[in-house]
Amino acid sequence: MGNTRFILALILVVVLPNFEVSCSMKSSIDIKTDQLALLAIKAHVHSDLLTTNWSTATSICNWVGAACGSRHHRVIALDLFGVNLSGTIPPDMGNLSFVAFLDIGNNSFHGSLPIELANLHRLKYLILSNNNFNGRIPSWFGSFSITSKLEFECNNFVGVIPSSLCFLSKLEILSSDNNNLQGHIVDTDIKK
């Protein structure tokens, strides 16, 4: 019995400190993932604001437009509305896995939206309005199951509106005007 207590005490002394270290390392890795995603955005846009403000010398939670949650210390909101950004959206933005609010409207973003944005499963608000995005409306917008506001008006999207938008059961606001879209959004669950 004495040896068992000694071994248990030894396990507690040796293993638990390592467990705590691995937990704190995981937290810093997660915030590092967010930092790398934001730095990728910075590298893909032309902006004096981001060049001077988004510096590794300060916490990303203090960067202009970024807000972190108090519980996980991860980026939960990115509000870059109308801050004169010009460039493309990098696939790395899809690594901001805790983002619930994303507003990059009223800038000069162009190109297509990377499929990696489909990884943003916590998105409640996605605002892409008043940019120069082009291509088709991504069908993966339908994977944003908790999104209540989706705005992509005043861009250069073309083609048919994807039926996957019918699966957005929480959607309250959809703004898609001033694009070159065709067709209708048809909800197949409507009772006649």
Domains and CATH numbers, the chain: 2-182 (3.80.10.10)
Mean pLDDT calculated for residue range 133-162: 95
Note the pLDDT of residue 14: 42
pLDDT(1) > 60 = no
Amino acid, single-letter form, for residue 177: D
- Lowest average pLDDT, out of 37-46, 78-87, 157-166, goes to 157-166
With 90 as the cut, is the pLDDT of residue 19 above it?
A: no
For position 21, what pLDDT does the model report?
A: 35
CA dihedral angle for residue 50, residue 88, residue 148, residue 72, rounded to 10 degrees: -50
Write down the mean pLDDT value for the chain.
85
